[in-house]
Each structure stands twice: as structure tokens, then as C-alpha cells.
Structure 1
């Protein structure tokens, strides 16, 4: 029974993160605010979005998001507001611009580099085997001829 209660608490925990008093009255604005909450990282928890965190900072961030959205700020302006104060770390998916472009490009670049090195290794290996197979010394050729005549 204790395990069931713990499992339900862990699964339903994010549902209780948003206090009903924080919600906006306009459903369209509330939907935008919730989408923004999922795109922002809680700087206290660091592995949860603002939407699923119960930390005090996350509650303040949710209120700030709703204030900005209700004030007419665009989604980009809300994200810029948080990035200006907390850096790119506050975004769950950092932007591919500035200094982060190297991080985005590192994965594909490493894959291409590994494929190129593997191709070069295999190609060089097949050439060395082929060149060694046909090369018999003169003494070996004479011995081969003697064996074949017998």
C-alpha cells in the first residue's frame, strides 16, 4: 500500500505544481503560459521544467510568466526576459546561436569524423593485404615451381 501511495505521489506530483490561484482566466493565455513553463528550466531543481517543479523559484517564475503573458509580451520576449537574467541555462532546449552552435554541431561533426577515420582505416587495410599477397620472392617462386612439378 505504501508503494502504491508513493507511486501515485511521484506520478501525480507535477499535476499539483501549478496552484489554481496562479492560473490566468483567459484559456488561450493560460495555454501559452503553460507551454512557456515547459520550455523553462527550474534553476533550483536543474533537471525539471518550471511547470513540474514545486520549488519557490519555479512558483515565482510561473507567476512572472503569467504576468508577462497577460501584459501582452510575446513568447520570444518572455524567453528573452529569463535568458537575460539567468543565461541560456534556463532554457530546456538551448538556442543554436552564439556560443552554443559548437555544442549543436559537435555531435554530427564527431560522427562524420569517426566515419571518415573508419573508412580510411578499412581502405588502407584492404590495400596492404592485397599488395602483400602477390609479392613472392625469387626463392619462393623457385620452390613453388619445384613443388608444382612434383
Structure 2
């Protein structure tokens, strides 16, 4: 038959209620795609920002952590001797850094002293013998906590002396300011002041 085929209203309604054919893979169109693309993109941006924040925190933590001074090639294979070496090194002063132990300092001299400590321990020296070996060559100053002796008195009394001298200096300065504020007028100054008062009086 030639001509336009007219569909009945019932057929049109039936086709409207029939779901569309499945796509390849069995998923109807529109299912599986994000219902709100802007929100999905916002979630991706938030996830990237979170990853960046964590990376920044890790980097800051690594920068705040001091570098290990003791290198792997310095460590002794015997864990007991290595523990003793670390304990002794924590009590020996780096004569270059002065306020650091050789266990914490990465100065070349500190490395040499750490190697000496380990060599003496491998030779069978006791902990006290290793410290004596170092103090005989570098003096008691090489110990972070040296014994109170005539040659180490400055190390023990130095901070107290500095505080005492500073306190005396501040007290002297305050006293001089106080005296300067209460200096009496001379006779000429008193006469000039009296003349000024009489001149202004009616």
C-alpha cells in the first residue's frame, strides 16, 4: 500500500512506555554517566587538592627531620657494639660544632671521632677506656658533660658568670638613670627659676 501509515493512539502510547534498546554492554543510555557533571568535577578537584596537601605535609616533615649523621658504612656489624658506640658518641662533643655530639654532627671531624670510637670498641676497650682515650688527646672539653675540674671550671661556671655580670650591668644602668633623674638644681639654675617665676607673677 502506498501512502502514509497512520498509527493509532494506542500504538504511540505503547512505544512511549517501552524503554529504549540497550547499548553495547547491556547498559541503558544515561545509566552509569554522572548525573551532575559539575559536582563530579568538583570532587575530582577536591581529591587532587587533598593529595597535594598530604604531599606538602610529608615534604615539611622530611625537612624538619634532622639528617642522620651516622652513615651505614660506619656502623658495626655487631649490634651490641654498635649500640655501645652510639651511646658513647652521644656523650662526646664535636669540637667543631661544640654544642652537638659527634653522634648528631655531620662534620668530617665528628665522623673521624666516631670511627675512632668504633675502632677502640672492636679492639676490646671498655666504654670508660674509650672516653679516656679521647680525653687524653682532646682534653676534658671533648665530653659534653665534663667532670668539674680546674680546666673545666669555665664550662661549668661560665653561664652563671655571664648571667651575674649581665645582672650587675643592668642594675648599674638603672641606678645611674635614677641618680640622673634626681640631680638637684645649681644655685644659678635656682636663681634663674626664681626670676622667671617673679616675672610671670602679677
What TM-score does the superposition give when structure 2 sets the normalisation length? 0.48
Q: CA deviation at 1:141?
A: 1.2
Which consecutive segments of 4 or more residues in structure 1 shift more than 6 A? 51-54
Q: CA deviation at 1:20?
A: 3.7
User: For residues 105 and 118 of structure 1, what CA distance do their matches in structure 2 show?
Assistant: 20
Deviates more, 1:51-60 or 1:29-38: 51-60
Partner of 1:18: 74
User: For residues 121 and 52 of structure 1, what CA distance do their matches in structure 2 show?
Assistant: 41
Tell me how many residue pairs correspond in the alignment.
131
Q: Is 1:59 the counterpart of 2:111 in the alignment?
A: no
> What whole-Å deviation, never above 9, does each CA across 1:30-64 have from its counterpart, x for those lacking one?
53432102223567xx4461676685663242131
Q: Tell me, what secondary structure is at the counterpart of 1:97?
A: coil
Partner of 1:84: 136
Q: Tell me, what secondary structure is at the counterpart of 1:131?
A: coil
Between 1 and 2, higher relative CO (CA 8 Å, sep ≥ 6) is seen in 1
Where in structure 1 are there 5+ consecutive unaligned residues?
Answer: 1-6, 70-74
User: For residues 129 and 52 of structure 1, what CA distance do their matches in structure 2 show?
Assistant: 53
- The correspondence for 2:154, drawn from 102, 107, 110, is 102
Q: Is 1:117 the counterpart of 2:169 in the alignment?
A: yes
1:1-12 matches, within 5 Å, as 11-12=67-68
> What whole-Å deviation, never above 9, does each CA across 1:14-41 have from its counterpart, x for those lacking one?
24153343x25x4xx6534321022235
Larger radius of gyration: 2
Structure holding more helix per residue: 1
Q: Is 1:146 the counterpart of 2:166 in the alignment?
A: no
> What whole-Å deviation, never above 9, does each CA across 1:81-129 have from its counterpart, x for those lacking one?
3212442243345444221212432232122112212212221222222
What TM-score does the superposition give when structure 1 sets the normalisation length? 0.60
Aligned partners of 1:37 and 1:49 also within 8 Å = yes
Change (3 A) 1:11 1:17: farther
Q: Tell me, what secondary structure is at the counterpart of 1:105?
A: helix
